[in-house]
Structures are given as C-alpha cells and as structure tokens.
Homo-oligomer: A and B are copies of this chain.
Amino acid sequence: MLKMSSLFLRTLRDDPSDASVASHKLLVRAGYIRPIAAGIFSWLPLGVIALRNVERVIRDEMDKAGFQEVHFPALLPKDPYEKSNRWEEYGPALFRLQDRKGSDYLLGPTHEEMFTLMVKSEYSSYKDLPLSIYQIQTKYRDEARPRSGIIRGREFIMKDSYSFDLDDAGLEASYQKHRAAYVTTFNRLGLKFNIVSAVSGAMGGSKSEEFLAPSPTGEDTYVLCPKCGYAANVEAMVSKVSKVSKQEIAKAPEMELLDTPDTPTIESLVAVMNQKYQANVSASDTLKNILLVADGQVVSILIPGDRQLDLKRVEANLAGVKELRLFEDGDFAKNPGLVKGYVGPQDAKKLGIKLYADPSIVIGSHWITGANIKNKHMRYVTHGRDFNVDGFIEAVEINQGDPCPSCDSPIIIDRAIEIGHIFQLGRKYAQALDLTVLDSQGKSQVVTMGSYGIGVTRALAAIAEQSHDEIGIIWPDEIAPAKVHLVATGREDEPFIQAERIGKELEAKGISVMIDDRREASPGVKFKDAELIGNPYILIFGKSLAQGQVEFRIRRSGEKSEIALGEITSHLVKLLG
C-alpha cells in the first residue's frame, strides 16, 4: 500500500518553466520525474511504478508472441559499429568515449549489430530459424535538441526486437507477427494510434511502418485519408500528380524571354505577368527553383510556384546525402551564373547544377521561370524539351485537402508522437557482419532481418499526452501507480482507520491501492493531489462516513456517487475484473 504520509513525493502547483508539452508538465508536477540534464531525467517512486507497468505490458505481449528476451550492454565496443558503418554514419548523435586504455566505445543508440553478432555466434542452420529476440534497455542518443520531456530524451528506455529469417516470405511473416503484437500492446497501454507507411514507395526500399499516437504537440506529421484509410508519414507520402491540368502542352510555344523588372518573388512575378503581359496566370503556372547544397553539390529542386518546399521530405528521399542545406548569400557569390530571384532550369547543365523535380512537374508541362538574368523571366519553358531533370523527388509540403494518392479524396494532416516503428531491414547488417546459415541444401545463405522498436519511456509520455485534462493525468488501469486512490479527510481517526481497512481489503483482492493518510494536509490539497496523480478510481472517506457512505469518483469521467462502506470492495472487484 502506497501511503502518502511516507511516500517520497512532493507535488508541485506550478508548471516547470522549461516544459512545453502536457506530459512533461504533468509528470513533473505530479512527482513522477525530475530533470537532471538536458534530455536526462530521474524517476521518483510513482514514476518507477508507472514505468514498470508499461514495461510489464510490453514484456507480456512480446513473450506471448513467442519472442525471447535477451539483454545487451549499453556500453559497446566500436568494432561492430565500424563494420556496419554506423560509427561514422550516426554523426554527432552517437555518444562516443574511450576507456582507460584508449579503446573506442559508444553508448548504444540501437543494437542491430549486437543482435546480429549474437545470433551469428549461436546459430548456424536454417532449422534454427525463424527467431525473434528482444530486449528492454536503456539507450543513448545525443539529440541536437532534446525536448518535450521524456518524449525526446538523450537517455531513454526502448524495447527493441529483431527477427531473423532465411527468406523474404519468412521475414514478411515475422514482420506481421510483430505488427499484430504491437497492435495488442498499444491497445493494452490505452493508446490511440494510427499505423502509417514510413518509407516512400518511390524510393523502393524495404517495408516499414510507424505506430503514431495522435497528439497536437507531437513532432511527427502524418497524412490520413478519412475515406479509404490510407495513412503515411509525410516523408513517405507519394503525392498525387494531377494529369489533367498540365498535360495539354506537348506542342507548347517556343521559350520566350520576358522583361520582368523587380520580380524576385512569385507574387511580384504573377502581378507583372498579368498587368504587363495580360497573361492571366496564377502562382501555379510559375516554377520555383529552390537551390540547395547537397554534400557540396549545387542542387535545384523544382516545385510549382504555389507550393512550399518541405525540406524534411527532400532529405528523407534524397538517398545517400549526408549534409543538405539551403543556399545562402555566400553560395550565390560563389556561383555568379545563378541570379537570386531569377533562376531557371534551362541552363542547369551549363551552370553545373543538378536538377530534381517534384512529381507534379510532369514531363511536357511548361512554366514561367527565371531567365538566369536579373529582372528577366521566360515562359513556355518545357520539361523534356528545354530542360531535363536528374530525377523526380517528393518535395512539396503536403497540405490538408491534397488528393489521397490511393483514392483521390482530400486528405487530413495531423500531428502525432511516434511510439513504435517496424521495419524490414533485409540483409544489410547480416551482410556487413557475415551472419549466414546453411539452408536445407547445405548452402550458405545470408539471413534476412527485421527490426522493431517501441519507445518505452516515450509511450508513458504519450499516454499522459493523450489522457489528461487541465487538472492532471488520467491513467489507464494497467498503467496507474495504483488502481484506487483512497483519501481520508478530517480530524477524526475514523476515516483514516476505515480507509486503511478498505485499502487492505482491496489489496487482498489483488487491487493496488494508494492511500492519502496525511493528517496535516487539507481535504482540498488531497483532492487536488489525487486528481493530479491520476489514479483511475478515487474513494473519499469524509463526512458521509457517519452514514456509512464513502464517495466514489471516477477520475476520467468526473462521475461521483456514494457507496456503502460494505459494498466498496465488491463494487471495485466487479469494475476492475
């Protein structure tokens, strides 16, 4: 029985000044977590209990699915991560250190390499597969901007699983098993979530889906079609190319140079076109040439003039690029052929620029675009005739109402927290670390792997994000520090004696209990704390106790009723059964 009189807990009346999201504010105020450094937190007793509850649900569902728990160190030698190239690729997000002998180590951000090596050291035959193993473990990422409390921390707990199969069909089966286990797990955790496609079909690549918990403060943006159910994160969405509007153009007029003084923006260009040339055009008839530097190479991304560029989508879809940034004034100085505000794709080859077009810039379409001369534009600049691109790339910012790539209905855009990610890794790590087994013919085969993650600490925060009101957290039954919160009030002994008695009765029935047995705290303080802490059911032993009654409150609905002392336990057993 958790007794508030001795529980190591101080609730706070005010939001912490550095907290911007509800879970961060409430978990600190209600005494679950405390900050230690940027993105690094300690857990107070209530936090430890809630966190263990989340872990228990996850472990339970993994075990039920037949996945086996193992455990790896967090402190790892460099060598396997060098072999997989992640020692370099991970960049500054990897915590690196040396031991007293000067050997290189890292703090594991994820454990693909270690799992691969473990299976390699134990297994050697196709008969040993399929295998799915997992761990619940502390991980480290040196985030550039740790934020949102425990949603994006630098030390955090993850459940990571890996599956090992002989062939693609096996991988698909293991993937589906994990997918099903994740659905059950998140349901038990009381989380609302969408499963969205996470890898753009355009880029080929393996199958990957994210479990996103909708939340207005979430960092992930995703697309949902209310009609057909299509769901994808914004990076993965393949935008629908309208084949009507721009397709009537095959025999467009020759390019024409236009005098367009002082028109460095789309708005000013459209205004001049319509006033000076009576062209009757809109922004969607113009072409934006957005200049980037990708690993030193100048790249121009072509999108319609009425759309915005989404740099995250470009980044996600430009394979192999390590550093990508927008053009700066210094870059223009170094590239005098590129005239700021008047860039066009027609001279790209001459200027040594790489061209990528959003899929909406279809071949055959013609555009009003810069003439690469100050104060001049051109029109009828035609894709496939006057310029050719090095490739298509998903580049425009997705807008609410854009057509669903699957059914053409207007899509919805929402924000969410990524709570899970499942991914068909394929043979990348097995190849790098030489994980093979003999097949039924005695032939050596590289194993194919899947990787599956749940952010454990993040899931706890996501629950609090989705399940709270202005006065506190509202925990689902399985996660709450205690199922029932008993509040004894007044100066008499009787409410305290009865509350403790009922608490013991409930515990004997396997129902976890927290009791506010503080003698000096006022009833108001106790009610506020109970609501802030967020256990699902509250029992108040107060004035009505004289009539043998106890007030019963349901935290989520706010519903209040009186229950006879003798019926409390059976009532709660029924409710929680």
A99 surroundings in chain B (CB, below 8 A): 95, 142, 154
Say yes or no: is A122 at the interface (Cβ < 8 Å to chain B). yes
Q: How far is the CA of A163 from the CA of B43 in the complex (A)?
A: 17
Q: Does A75 contact B (CB under 8 A)?
A: yes
When each residue 102-145 of chain A gets 1 if its CB lies under 8 Å from chain B and 0 otherwise, what string results? 00010100000010001001110000000101000010101010
Say which residue of B70, B72, B144 sits within 8 Å of A45 (CB atoms): B70
Q: When the two chains form their complex, are residues A66 and B6 in contact, meaning their CB atoms are under 8 A apart?
A: yes
Kindly state whether residue A36 has any CB partner on chain B within 8 Å.
yes
Per-residue CB contact flags for chain A residues 44-59 toward chain B (1 = under 8 Å, else 0) read 1101110100000000
A527 within 8 A of B: no
Given contacts A34-B121, A99-B142, contact A72 B42 (CB under 8 A): yes
Does A251 sit at the interface, judged by CB under 8 A? no
Asked if A77 is at the interface of the complex by the 8 Å CB criterion, the answer is yes
Asked if A42 contacts B155 (CB within 8 A), the reply is no
**What count of chain A residues pass the 8 Å CB interface test?**
51
The answer, yes or no, to whether A228 is at the interface (CB within 8 Å) is no
A572 at the interface (CB under 8 A from B): no
A72 touches B36 (CB 8 A): yes
Least CB distance from A414 to B in Å reads 31
Report chain B residues within 8 Å CB of A71: 42-43, 47-48, 51
Once the chains bind, are B68 and A42 in contact (CB under 8 Å)?
no
Contact yes or no, A77 B42, CB < 8 A: no
A548 within 8 A of B: no
Q: Decide if B40 touches A73 in the complex (CB within 8 Å).
A: yes
In the complex, A107 Cα to B75 Cα: how many Å? 10
Contacting pair B10 A75 (CB below 8 A): no
Q: Is A8 an interface residue (CB 8 A)?
A: yes
Tell me, yes or no, whether A333 is within 8 Å of chain B by CB: no
Q: B155, A74: Cβ atoms under 8 Å? A: yes
Cross-interface CB contact of A70 among B8, B131, B133, B140, cutoff 8 Å = B8
Known: A43-B70, A44-B122. 12 other contacts (CB 8 A): A8-B131, A34-B118, A36-B76, A37-B77, A43-B72, A45-B70, A74-B74, A74-B155, A97-B97, A99-B142, A100-B142, A138-B138
* A-B pairs with beta carbons under 8 Å apart, 8 shown: A8-B68, A36-B114, A43-B72, A44-B122, A45-B68, A75-B107, A99-B142, A100-B144
